[in-house]
Structures are given as C-alpha cells and as structure tokens.
Amino acid sequence: MKSGLWPEVVHLLCRWHVYEAIKRYCSSFFKRFEKGKQREQLNRFIAAFKNVVCAHHERDMQARWRALVEDNTFPQEAIEYVKKEYYESPKARQIMECYVYESGNLHQTTTSRNEGMHSAYRSRTPVIQSLAESYRLRRIHKEQWMQRLRSTAVEGRNRIPLDLANMPELQALIRKVILF
C-alpha cells in the first residue's frame, strides 16, 4: 500500500470481524456466569468494547476504556485479551474511531460487500468462479430470503382471522379492524 497509488491510505481492520474474533476467543471466559446469562454478559462486554472503539477523541476513548476495566462484572482474562490484542497493539490504529478518522479511508471500517459474499457462501452456494457470478448468486439468495419472509408474513396474516373466529368475544371484529 505505501508504495502504491495511495501512499497515505492506511489499511483498516473490519470491526465486525474484530468483534466476532473477540466473541470466539473470549466466550470461554464467560462460562463462570450462570447458564442463561453467559451470552448476555459476553454481548454486554462486546458492546462496552464497541463503545471504546467508537469514541471520537483519544481522551474519550481512554475514559471509556477505564470504565470497561473498572466494571468488575467482566472476566479479567477477557479484558486482558482485548487489551493485548486490540487496545494496546498496533491494531488499535486500524479500528479505533479516533485514529481511523485521520486515516484517509472515509470511515470505511466494515466490509459490507464481503459480508454479502459470506452470506452467499453460508447459503450453500457452490464454488463461485467469477465476481459477476457471485453477485448474481447473492441477488438470487436475497430474493429467496425475501420470498421466505413474505410467505411467513402471509401465513401470520391469514392466521389472525382464524384465531379471532375461535373467540366469541372477538368475532364481531373480523373484517372490521385492520390487522396491523
């Protein structure tokens, strides 16, 4: 990148992938919480780190980090991992908002096009040979997804009058009240 066309542009890390990596690595540290609270606490931890990442100024970022560290509900191992891998490492300059703002990348810190490709791959799409083919397959995948959503909505819409018909108190409302 430095010797290429845009010498001032900094390579940034996708925040979504950073949060997913934290989720994968730190999930074992949250097993100390009771069964129904593990995921909730992990998501709260990631949300607290997102808050640090999205600080617009370095001083604000440091204050938010101190608040995360001082929250005694988070496992110390998870805090240490995030501190070592993302807060104090050179990666911080590639994800933290206060640094990214000056990087020349127009705040592009996620890869939405790539996430669409991941979605196509997860939908059991066969090996994709060309970019044009991948876009076509992704479009088909999204259309099928929308059809499934619409059919679920229609099933729900058709079910409501049947439920009303079974209740004598509500039978008078059928076809007189908007379903929404």
Residue 93 CB contacts under 8 Å (≥ 6 apart), including other chains: 10, 99, 103
Domain range annotation of the chain: 15-110, 129-173
- pTM for this entry: 0.57
Q: Which residue carries 């810190």 as its tokens?
A: 109
pLDDT per position as a tens digit, 25-65: 999 999 998 888 888 999 999 999 999 988 888 899 999 99
Query: And the tokens for 150?
Result: 């619409």
